[in-house]
Amino acid sequence: MAYPLRFEWRNQTHETVKLRTFLSAHGVSHAVLIQIKFHGGSMSINHRPAWSVDNVRPNDVVTIILPPEPANAAVTISDLPLSIVYEDDNFLVVNKPAGVASVPAHHYANNTLVNRAKGYFITHGIPLQVPHIVTRLDKDTSGLVLFGKHHMAHSVLDQQLKAHSLQKTYLAVASGTGLPEHGNFDQPIQRDPTSFIKRQTGETGQAARTEFWVLATAGDFSVVKVKLHTGRTHQIRVHFAGAGHPLVGDQLYEGDLHQGLNRQALACERLDFYDPFADVQRQLTAPLAEDIQQLLTRYEINVDTVMQQLNADLDVN
């Protein structure tokens, strides 16, 4: 991909609209417009400089050039490896191991996925060295994490997140049996007043919906496929714990700690999103983490069968 980044569209409708409206329909967020205006980018209509309030008429050609993205010096560089599932000029998808935080914090400053992605970008000569993390996972949840390689890629995916068209599918192992074959949890989620970290269900919390399908049962646990319809902190863990089925290995929410896992049995196994740069729907999957595979195999649950069920296109309506 050539730098600086340049994107171009033609107004193929019969309507005249404001430039900002036209760009918004193509995934250009207000934040990107601010970056273009104040940090060295440009906008044009038919190759003439334009402002966001200018009109885009039928058959007009709109071009934007993104400004440079200087690396954040506060984000240190890590040369630890990434398990890359998919990469192109716009997106990077990695399979995060349990025990690695997604983003830097005061107690995880140097060895997060963002630190590793920055190191990867520099090592491989990628000019833009700002990893835009789009989907995050808890430190002890494994699975797929999606990065945009530039501000525009982040913008289009952020819009999909807000519209719930970017979908994450999880595999979880919940304590106990007796869950319905298919169900929903829709209890609001709020902070636990006794803990800075913990969450709980409660009437005054934020709206939350978790959909699940039971794929297998064995011993005293259930293997479930989970889709999120909202994105609250610890949502899957809180909803299953609130229903009396905390995830195996989840010490924070009092899950079964006697199955050989030292973290919650939860993995993001599939990502579905629209790639507007290639005009295709991406469907990406990850191999299941070894510790969860070992748990299933110990109870004679066929991992391949479970993964085939999880990745089948089910009717979720």
Q: Is 88 a catalytic residue?
A: no
Helix (H) or strand (E) holding 269: strand 266-275
* Non-local CB neighbours of 127 within 8 Å, separated by 6+ positions: 3
Query: Are the C-beta atoms of 150 and 171 separated by less than 8 Å?
Result: no
For residues 33 and 48, what is the distance between their CA atoms, to the nearest angstrom? 17
Q: How many residues does the chain have?
A: 317
Find the catalytic residue in 54, 138, 140, 158: 138
* Non-local CB neighbours of 281 within 8 Å, separated by 6+ positions: 272, 273, 274, 275
Could you give phi then psi for residue 77, rounded to 5 degrees? -100, 130
Query: Are the C-beta atoms of 144 and 286 separated by less than 8 Å?
Result: yes
* 3-state SS, residue 175: strand
For residues 290 and 71, what is the distance between their CA atoms, to the nearest angstrom? 35
Q: In 50-103, where do the E strands start and end?
A: 55-56, 61-65, 84-87, 91-96
Q: Per the structure block, which two tokens stand in for 18?
A: 């404001």
For residues 182 and 178, what is the distance between their CA atoms, to the nearest angstrom? 11
| Catalytic annotation, residues | 138
